[in-house]
Each structure stands twice: as C-alpha cells, then as structure tokens.
Structure 1
Amino acid sequence: MIIVIYATFFFIILRFAVTIFNFISDPKLRRVNKSYTNLVSILIPARNEEENILTLLTSIYQQDYKDYEVIILDDDSSDQTYAICAEFAAKHSNFRVIKGKELTGQWLGKNYACHQLARQAKGEFLLFLDADEQVSDGLINSAVHRMHFRNLALLSLFTNQKMITIGERVTVPLMHYILLNLLPLRLVYLSKNASVAAASGQFMLFNTEVYRQYEWHKSAMDKIVEDVEIMKQVKIAGFNGESLLANGMITCRMYTSYGEAINGFGKNFLAAFNYNVFSFLIFLILLIGGPMMVMITLNLQLIAMMIGLIILTRIMISLESGQNAFINVILHPLQMFSLVLIAFSAIQKYLTKTTEWKGRKI
C-alpha cells in the first residue's frame, strides 16, 4: 500500500511539474502584424461531411488571408458532401473539389486522401485541415510567419475544442489533459530527439518543397496516428517541426455524442503508447487507480494534497486550452471514468483487429 501511494504521488507531482512548465512557457501560436503573401494551399479530405463542410468553407472564405487556394477531396462519400462542395466552388474561384481515387494497398483512407491533395496543390505551403473545423482571422498569416521565423518543415496546431453536449464535455477535454499533463510541448521544437513528438492532424502546415521531397503522407501510409508519425519522420530527417496550441484561431467540434467520442478516441489512444497494452494499463493504474488507493487511506492530509494538485492541474490545462476550468474540475471524475471506457475500447479493438472509422476497417 505504501509503495503504491509513493508511486501515485511521484506520478502526480511529475505530471504537475509538466503542467506548470506548459503553463509558464505558454506554447501558443502568436498573432503577428507583419503581413505575408505566400500562396497557401488549403487541403481538405472529406468523407461524409455534409453537416460540417460548409461551415469550414465559409469560414475560410471570410477570414483575412487572401493568398490561398482551397482543394477539397471527396473520399467516396455516400452523402451530399461532393454536391455541397461543388456548389460552393462554383461560386468562389479559388475553391475546387475533386473526387478521390479508390483506396488501394496499405493506404489508410485519410492518409491517401492527403497524399492525393498534395499532388494537386500549387502553393508554397500545404495546409491540411479536417472538415469539421472553423478558422478565424489571423490564423494563416500567423502560421506562415511561424514557418518563416522558425524555419519549419512542419507546424501543427492543437485546435480549440467546441463542446455542446455533456457527452462531449466528459470526453473531449481528455485530449488536452493528457497532452499537456505528460509532454512539455515546447520540447517538440527544442529537442532533436524524434521520440519527443506530438502533432494534430486537425492542422498540419508543411513547407511544400520539403514535403514534395519526402512525401510525408506516403511515408506514413498505413499509420492510424499519421500526424505523430510524420512529426517523428520530419525530425529524423533533420528538419524543424513544432506543435503549438491554436490560441483560439481555429476551432473544431470533434464529436457530437458520447458514443461517437468513445469510439473515436478508442481508435488511436493506444498509438500514444506504441501499442504496448501493458504500458497503457500501468498508466491507467497510476492515473486512476492510484488516487483511489489514496482515498481509501482516509488520511485527510494526503487526500487534500492529492486533490489540490489535481485541481490546480485541471485549472492550468483548461486555461491553456481555452476550456471552462470550473466545468472540467467538476466533471473530472466522469472524465476519468470515460477514459477507462476509452481504454477498454482501444484495447479490445486492437486485440481483435476490429478498429473501424467512417465505415472502413483500419
């Protein structure tokens, strides 16, 4: 019991230190006044996105950066995605939509769609966005500035998350919680070690010249979490990569229900642990089982210290990620319960090889 408690507090304090580092270093994309005119190719893979795609396209059209082209790839949608995009493109000259080719070989759907989009692009920078997002003024110009300033081959942003239902609120915050609780985000750029990598496929901005040389999506054709894999490969190749928080300049509503969120996170959670089920279970035991053991001791000082560290951690991470700190603190137990469900879903799908997304087996 004593060993478990010591291990629990060591783990909590270590994660608290990482959270403080992230809070103080404030790894956000900064707005800049300097204007750029580089042509940016905005590339959007879309599969059955009729409910989301128009919001994204309208937000791109209305934002302030004007030197861009938009290419949408319809990835064998069974809904009205293509028709909606085609109608929008007919009214806006720098938007166009293409039909994706049939999936072949070891390719996963999104990776193949991005590969095809890159080959159609003309811009000096390639910006890959998901169809369920919404961009704001300052985003593209600030990102292009960062590419020049840091001499980056890849800039990835963790978008601000839009949450409406209670199901979303007890699942979606886990993404930023685990990220900012375990990884000092500034180290993605500062460390040359490829194992220190993080990225989000919701925003991936590439230097086109470097991308064409390495064809990053092709090199990660069969990877479920292709974003992190590509960041690793960028660093292995000796280029600079950076991951930052979006600072409110791009938002995303990842999921619309509890079940969808559990299924969605379940398909890629194990990837963060290199598909090592044992390591994943140890992490869960320390994260959730450890605090429960501390509660069982009925030692009020230990319990108060533990709860205080957890609350401060949740507040700092919530403020950094643009989320409601009070709600995240109140819902923390339910979020941890959701994490357990996600874990079992991830392990079950991995062991039975039944991982599926958007109607395709992975």
Structure 2
Amino acid sequence: MIIAIFITFIFIVLRFTVTLFNFISNPKLPHINRQHTQLVSILIPVRNEQDNILGLLQSILKQDYADYEVIILDDSSDDNTFSVCENFASKHSQFKVIRGKKLPDDWLGKNYACHQLAKEAKGDYFLFLDADEKVNNVLVNSAIHRMHLYKLGLLSLFTNQQMDTFGEKSVVPLMHFILLNLLPLRLVYLVKNSTVAAASGQFMFFDAEIYRANEWHKQVKDRVVEDIEIMRLVKSSGFNGEALLANGMITCRMYKSYTEALNGFSKNFLAGFNYSIITLLIYLIALIGGPMIVIMTLNLQLIVFMVGLIILTRVMVSLASGQNAWLNLLLHPLQMINLTIIAFMAIQKYLTKSTVWKGRPV
C-alpha cells in the first residue's frame, strides 16, 4: 500500500511539474500583424463533410491574408461534399476542388489525399487543414513569421476546441489534458532528438520546398497517427519542427455528440502509446487507480494534497487551452471515466482489427 501511494504521488507530482512548465512557458503561437506575401497553398482533404466544409471555406475567405490558393480534394465522398465545394469554388477564383484518385491498398485515406494535394499545390508554404475547422485573422501571417524566425520545416498547432453538447464537454478536453501534463511542448523545438515529438493533423504548416524534397505523407502512407510520425521524420532529417497551442487563431469542432467523440478518440488513442497495451494500462492505473488508493487511506492530509495538485493541474491546462476551468473541474471524474472507456474501446478495436473511420478500415 505504501509503495502504491508513493508511486501515485510521484506520478501526480511529475504531471503537475510538466503542466506547470507548460503554463509558465506559455507555448502559444504569438499574434503577429506583420504582412507577408508568400503564396500559401491551403490544402483540405474532405470525405463526407457536406455539413462542415462551408464553415471553413467561408472563414478562409474572411481572414486577412491575401496571397493564398485553396485546393480541396474530395476523397470519394458519398454525400454532397463535392457539389458543395464545387459551387463555392465557382464563385471564388482562389478556390478549386478536385476529385481524389482511387485509394491504393498500401495507403490510408487521409495520407493519400494529402499526398495528392501536395502534388497539385504551387505555394511557398503548404497548410493542411481539416474540414471541421475555422480560421481567424493573423493566423497565416503569424505562422509564416514563426517559420522564418525559427527556420522551421514544420509548424503544427493544437487548435482551440469548440464544444457545444454535454457529451463533447465530457470527452474532448481530454486531448489537451493528456497533452499538456505529459509533454513539455517547448521541448519539441528545443530538443533535436526525434523521439521528442508532438503534432496535430488539424494544422500542419510546411516549408513547401522541404516538403517537395521529402514527400512526408508518402513516407507515412500507412500510419494512423501520421502527424506525429511526420514531426519525427522532419526532426530526424535535420530540420526544425515546432508544436504550439493555437492561441485562439484557429478553432475546431471535432465531434458533435458523445458517441462520435468516443469513437473518434478511440480510433487512434492506442497509437499515442506506440500500440503498447501494457503501457496504456499502466498509465490508466497510475492516473485513475492511484488516486482511488489514496482516497481509500482516509488520510485527510494526503487526500487534500493530492486533490490540490489535481485541481491546479486542471486549472492550468484549461486556461492554457482556452477552456472553461470550472466546468473541467466539475466534469473531471466523468472525464476520467470516459478516458477509461476510450482506452478499452481502443484496445478492443486494436485486438479485433475492427477500427473503422468514415466507412474505411484503419
């Protein structure tokens, strides 16, 4: 019992320390108003996104960067995605939509779509976005400025999350919670070793010359978590990569219901643990089982100390990610339950090879 309590507090203190480092170092993309003029190719793979894509396209049209092209690739949608995009592009000359080619057997869908988009792009920079996002002013100028300042081959942003339903609020905050109390984000740039890597496929901003020479998506054509794998490749190839928080410049509504959020997160959750079921179970035991053991001791001082660290951790993560701290504190127990559900769904899908996303096996 004493050993379990000791390990629990070591784990909690380490996570608190990482969160504190992230909170103090403030790993956010700074807002930069300086105007740049390089051509940016905004590349958007879409599959069955008729309900989402117009919001993104309209936000691009309204943002303050002028030198861009938008290429949308319809990846065999069986809804009205292509016609919605085609109608929009017909009214705006900087936008165009193309149909994707048949998916080869040795590729995953999104990776192949991004690879095809890069072949069509003419820009000095490639910006890959997901269809369920919306961009705001100063985003592109700020990203280009960062690429120049730090000589980056890849800049990836963790977007601010829009959550409308109770189900979303009980699941989606887990993404920033896990990220910001396990990895000091500043180290992605500072540590040149490729094992220290993080990235989000929701915003991948590449130096186009470097991308064309390396064809990053081709190198990870069969990887589920292609974003992190690409960041590792960028760094191992001798280029600089950085991952930051979006600082309100781009938002995303990842899922629109509780069930959709559980299925979405379980799709690639195990990949974040390098597909090691044992490592994932150890993490869950330390994260959830450990605090339960401390509570069972009925030692008020230990419980207060533990709860205080957890509260401070949740507050710092919430503030850094632009989320409601009070709500995340209130929903923390439910979010931990949902994390457990997601983990076991991920394990079940991995063992039975039954992971499916947008109608395709992953």
TM-score by length of structure 1 reads 1.00
Within 5 Å, which residues of 2 pair with 1:137-216?
137-216=137-216
Q: Deviations over 1:62-113 (max 9, x none)?
A: 0000000000000000111000000000000000000000101210000000
Report the counterpart of residue 27 of structure 1 in structure 2.
27
Within 5 Å, which residues of 2 pair with 1:345-356?
345-356=345-356
1:28 is displaced (CA, Å) by: 0.2
State the distance in 2 between where 1:35 and 1:130 align. Answer: 25
1:31 is displaced (CA, Å) by: 0.8
Query: Matched residue of 2:193: which SS?
Result: coil
Report the counterpart of residue 100 of structure 2 in structure 1.
100
Query: Matched residue of 2:90: which SS?
Result: helix
**Structure 1 runs (4+) greater than 6 angstroms displaced:** none
1:337 and 2:337 matched: yes
Report the counterpart of residue 88 of structure 2 in structure 1.
88
State the distance in 1 between where 2:180 and 2:68 align. Answer: 32
Q: Deviations over 1:144-196 (max 9, x none)?
A: 11011110000000000000111000100000000000000000000011110
Report the counterpart of residue 274 of structure 2 in structure 1.
274
State the distance in 1 between where 2:142 and 2:333 align. Answer: 37
State the distance in 2 between where 1:245 and 1:178 align. Answer: 14
Query: Matched residue of 1:314: which SS?
Result: helix
Q: Which runs of 5+ in 2 are unaligned?
A: none
Within 5 Å, which residues of 2 pair with 1:39-54?
39-54=39-54
Q: Which runs of 5+ in 1 are unaligned?
A: none
Amino acid paired to 1:8: T
Report the counterpart of residue 70 of structure 2 in structure 1.
70
Query: Matched residue of 2:128: which SS?
Result: strand
Amino acid paired to 1:169: K
Q: Deviations over 1:309-341 (max 9, x none)?
A: 000000000000000000000000000000000
Taking every aligned residue pair, what percent have the same amino acid on both sides?
A: 68
State the distance in 2 between where 1:139 and 1:6 align. Answer: 45
Report the counterpart of residue 253 of structure 1 in structure 2.
253
State the distance in 2 between where 1:303 and 1:134 align. Answer: 42
State the distance in 2 between where 1:101 and 1:176 align. Answer: 35
Query: Matched residue of 1:351: which SS?
Result: helix
* RMSD of aligned Cα (Å): 0.5
State the distance in 1 between where 2:172 and 2:38 align. Answer: 34
Q: Deviations over 1:206-239 (max 9, x none)?
A: 0000001110000000000000000000000010
Amino acid paired to 2:73: L
Query: Matched residue of 1:91: which SS?
Result: coil
The number of residue pairs the alignment matches comes to: 362
Query: Matched residue of 1:33: which SS?
Result: coil
Q: Deviations over 1:118-162 (max 9, x none)?
A: 000000000000000000000011001101111000000000000
1:33 is displaced (CA, Å) by: 2.5
Query: Matched residue of 1:182: which SS?
Result: coil
State the distance in 1 between where 2:209 and 2:137 align. Answer: 26
Q: Deviations over 1:251-270 (max 9, x none)?
A: 00000111111111001111
Amino acid paired to 1:312: L
Amino acid paired to 1:177: F
Amino acid paired to 1:150: Y
1:110 and 2:110 matched: yes
State the distance in 1 between where 2:359 and 2:292 align. Answer: 38
Report the counterpart of residue 324 of structure 1 in structure 2.
324
Query: Matched residue of 1:141: which SS?
Result: helix
TM-score by length of structure 2 reads 1.00
Query: Matched residue of 1:251: which SS?
Result: strand
State the distance in 2 between where 1:178 and 1:117 align. Answer: 31
State the distance in 2 between where 1:73 and 1:83 align. Answer: 12
1:294 and 2:298 matched: no
Report the counterpart of residue 128 of structure 1 in structure 2.
128
State the distance in 2 between where 1:4 and 1:109 align. Answer: 44
